[in-house]
Amino acid sequence: MRLLDWFRNRLAETLPEDLPEGGNEGQEKDGEKMKIIIGLGNPGTRYAGSRHNAGFRAITELSDRHGIRVNINRQKGLCGSGVINGQKVMLVMPQTYMNNSGECVGPIVDYFHVPLEDVLVIYDDIALDVGQIRVRGKGSAGGHNGMKSLIAHLGSGDFPRVRIGIGAKPPQMDLADYVLGHFPEEELTVIRKSVKAAADAAETWISDGIEAAMNHYNTFRAEP
């Protein structure tokens, strides 16, 4: 393995398979604070590219941009550590299936003692049109089962998030079938742009804070 790859993954590799509660190795264990970016989705090829996996796609975008390999299997998730805009970050994709995402995220956040304001979650939202994203500093689950799990395991909804619009389901369609389904051809270009914008918003949050990200991206609307 190249030295650069070793450095980027060193922090994630220190994470045990089963984390003790209240680990004594905090985020400043090597003198540098860390931020965590989590993308929500479902594992497996069956769900790749589905509406519900918009968060995974944003993590993949950040991974590709910054050369962070998200391939360390720890605590029911895939993790990778690196640097974005001069800031140490960990990218996380829970592998628990959406409804149990908190089983992965809670222990990781607790182990590294990362304050909730330094934890960003990216996920899909049926309340937003395809092409829209929204950035918030905190909030409720809004009916999203993955977010319900996160809030239950983190003990609070006081963490920033980026929501990627996937559009409302047709009236006659089951919600589960809709979110687990794939985007039609005419929406593919728009959702790609939305995912890129969500990654841009995460980078702005890292560099300039949540207010700057909100001000810049809450008016975003991707066009075909």
| pLDDT tens track for 80-102 | 999 999 999 999 999 999 999 99
Q: How far apart are the C-alpha atoms of 114 and 180, rounded to whole Å?
A: 31
The CATH number linked to 166 is 3.40.50.1470
Q: Is residue 224 part of a domain?
A: no
Whether 52 is a known active-site residue: answer yes
Q: Is residue 20 part of a domain?
A: no
Q: Is residue 15 part of a domain?
A: no
Q: Please give the residue range of the domain that contains residue 179.
A: 3-10+30-217
Taking the CB of residue 212, how many other CB atoms lie within 10 A of it? 14
Taking the CB of residue 159, how many other CB atoms lie within 10 A of it? 26
Return the pLDDT at 224.
86
Q: Which of 52, 66, 144, 182 is catalytic?
A: 52
Q: Is residue 120 part of a domain?
A: yes
Number of domains in the chain: 1
Q: How far apart are the C-alpha atoms of 137 and 139, rounded to whole Å?
A: 7
- pLDDT band at 133, cuts 50/70/90? very high
Q: How far apart are the C-alpha atoms of 185 and 117, rounded to whole Å?
A: 37
pLDDT, tens digit, for every residue of 153-209? 999 999 999 999 999 999 999 999 999 999 999 999 999 999 999 999 999 999 999
The amino acid sitting at 192 is R
User: Position of tokens 């979110």?
Assistant: 179
User: Position of tokens 């319900």?
Assistant: 148
Q: Is residue 22 part of a domain?
A: no
Return the pLDDT at 23.
42
Q: Is residue 69 part of a domain?
A: yes
Q: Is residue 17 part of a domain?
A: no
Return the pLDDT at 165.
98
Whether pLDDT at 103 is above 50 = yes
Rounded alpha-carbon distances, angstroms, from residue 152 to 71, 101, 123, 207, 221: 26, 10, 17, 28, 31
pTM over 0.85: yes
Mean predicted confidence (pLDDT) in 53-77: 97
CA atoms 49, 51, 54, 55: torsion sign? negative
Return the structure tokens found at 217: 């991206």
pLDDT, tens digit, for every residue of 10-48? 444 445 555 544 443 445 445 579 999 999 999 999 999
